[in-house]
Amino acid sequence: MKTPYHPKHECGVFGVYGHPNAAELTYYGLYALQHRGQESAGIVTAREEGSPFRIRRGMGLVGQVFSEQDLKDLTGTRAIGHVRYSTTGASTIKNAQPITVETRRGQVAIAHNGNLVNAGRLRAE
């Protein structure tokens, strides 16, 4: 007898663009997606293109990671949020998302749901 297919949940990703309370909306979006990841949560915001990012990441549930003050400090009209369910990699703050990097063209922030198995090769390229 074949086992029926059941969808599996992995990380949750939520984004807002063009809203003055982007961090707060992202918080509620992540709260609704909490079933997709309970290990860590993070939000990154920006006011406009080229403005510096503000980021808060932490271990635990969405309600444990973000305080009211955190949400006030995450100013901006753009936000990316992430809740993590690890399938590979340790459950540590180092692996919490969103990820931010400096490039020659400026800052980049991303959050993803999956495993990047060729990171070393991509970095070398």
Let me know: does 123 contact 101? Beta carbons within 8 Å: no
Mean pLDDT of 51-68: 96
Q: Is 105 a catalytic residue?
A: no
What pTM value is reported for the model?
A: 0.86
Q: Domains in the chain, start-ordered, CATH in brackets?
A: 12-114 (3.60.20.10)
Angstrom CA distances, 50 to 74, 88, 94, stand at: 16, 33, 25
pLDDT tens digit sequence for 66-110: 999 999 999 999 999 999 988 777 888 999 999 999 999 899 999
Of the candidates 5, 7, 9, 11, the residue annotated as catalytic is 11
